[in-house]
Amino acid sequence: MSTIDRHRFDAFLHAVLEPLPDAVMLDTAHNSELRRATYNKFICMRRRVDYYESLRAAFDCTVAWDWYPEEAQQFEPLLVHFPRRSILEKHYHAALYDCLMTLVGDKVCIEWKKRRVGQIGYPDKKADVEAAIARDEAFCLAHPVRAKGRTPKGGEPS
């Protein structure tokens, strides 16, 4: 074997036998699917929170109508009879807790979770929620959707 062929053969073996760097090994399509699945689940849970927030606002409006009975009579067919405020609060806080505990792989959703930690109705569960947020951040780091160092179209390298 000539020396030139030997160098090319050694380079070939080195390329074949050496493990690929992590950036090449990433399956970004799979990571995108994982993140999308967690996002869809989180959005369903967040809609539940929004539903109970809307019910709380509507409840507050019906309480205000009690102060002005003359104006409320024209809306009588539209009035919905709500349960007590405490029951709505209980359902709202349960929905918020479930939403905050749901795994999500989106940074915007994680920021929303961080803003909502103080609104949770269970002070003893705050540590659980903070642990869930840390788990979300770890999930984002473990499942990147773009290889590091790749330059997006028209952008700066990440």
**Distance of alpha carbon 78 from alpha carbon 68, whole angstroms:** 16
Is residue 157 pLDDT above 60, yes or no? no
Per-residue confidence (pLDDT) for residue 75, from 0 to 100: 59
Predicted confidence band of residue 98 (pLDDT cuts 50, 70, 90) = very high
Helix axes 107-116, 28-67, angle to 10 degrees: 40
Q: Which pTM value belongs to this model?
A: 0.66
**Distance of alpha carbon 108 from alpha carbon 35, whole angstroms:** 12
Per-residue confidence (pLDDT) for residue 80, from 0 to 100: 59
* pLDDT tens string 101-110: 999 988 999 9
Helix axes 85-101, 126-142, angle to 10 degrees: 30
Per-residue confidence (pLDDT) for residue 76, from 0 to 100: 57
Q: Which residue has the higher pLDDT, 79 or 67?
A: 67
Average pLDDT for residues 65-74, to the nearest whole number? 65
Domain borders along the chain are 27-142
Chain length of the chain:
158
Q: In this structure, are residues 133 and 113 in contact, taking their beta carbons and an 8 Å threshold?
A: yes
Per-residue confidence (pLDDT) for residue 35, from 0 to 100: 85
Q: Which residue has the higher pLDDT, 15 or 134?
A: 134
Per-residue confidence (pLDDT) for residue 158, from 0 to 100: 44
Average pLDDT for residues 23-30, to the nearest whole number? 64
